[in-house]
Amino acid sequence: MEKHHIDVMIDEDAVNNRIKELGEQISRDYADREVYLICILKGSVYFTCELAKRITVPVIMDFMQCSSYGAATKSSGVVKLSKDLDMAITDRDVIIIEDIIDSGRTLNHLKDLLGQRNPASLKICTLLDKPSRRVVDVDVDYTGFRIEDKFVVGYGLDYDQLYRNLPYIGVVEFD
Ligand code: IMP
Ligand code: MG
């Protein structure tokens, strides 16, 4: 592993406060309904759990795994589905929960795939967005933070599987 260190980009309080706001917004938007949250493994685990705790309408959680990244910090452009949902989403109000949108390929692919299963509605919620990196257009309904083009870790995001457990968003700086 290349020599590097981690600088704080968004501290723990700021992340938690923003997630609280997103939870409140989703609770208002889905008043009197039930939301079906799809956590995209592994990166969205922390975000999905914290967000779900802040949602006051009934929540169902399901998990899906799909990868477009290898061990490096560059996207391969190939999206592979390695774990599908456990339940059917027909007539459900679905929100896909992502850790970060980079090229947009992963979400574009997932939205197409899940849209074919006839949910009542299908929205996207991401903790982070790097709009300058977009290759494929995606409509994002809820965004935690828009960030510049830096490789970030923490709050579920990894660098070669490490740092997911950091309670803040950090930037990987190569020494
Ligand atoms: P996309 O398909 O290019 O939008 O890539 C999305 C996925 O790439 C995310 O779910 C992350 O797993 C990974 N990714 C993109 N940028 C970063 C980053 O800065 N840090 C860690 N993972 C990232
Ligand atoms: Mg990921």
DSSP code string of 45-110: HHHHHHHHHT--S-EEEEEEEEEEE-SSSSEEEEEEEEE--SS--TT-EEEEEEEEESSSHHHHHH
- Per-residue pLDDT, 79: 74
The CB density around residue 61, as the number of other CB atoms within 10 Å, is: 14
Task: Count the neighbouring beta carbons within 10 Å of the beta carbon of residue 39.
Answer: 24
pLDDT < 50 stretches in the chain? 71
Q: Please tell me the predicted confidence (pLDDT) of residue 132.
A: 95
Average pLDDT, the chain: 94
> In this predicted structure, what is the pLDDT of residue 43?
96
User: Helix (H, G, I), strand (E, B), or coil: what is residue 150?
Assistant: coil
CA of 84 to the centre of ligand 2 (A): 15
Active site residues: 102
pLDDT (0 to 100) of residue 77: 58
This prediction has a pTM of 0.94
48 CB under 6 A from ligand 1?
no
Element (H, E) at 142: strand 142-146
Provide the edge-to-edge strand list for the sheet that holds 4-10: 4-10, 169-174, 152-153
pLDDT digits (tens, 9 = 90+) for 104-126: 988 998 999 999 999 999 999 99
Determine the pLDDT at residue 81: 86
Residue with CA closest to ligand 1 atom 5:
102
pLDDT at 78: 65
Which ligand is located closest to the Cα atom of residue 110? 1
Neighbours of ion ligand 2 (CB under 5 A): 43
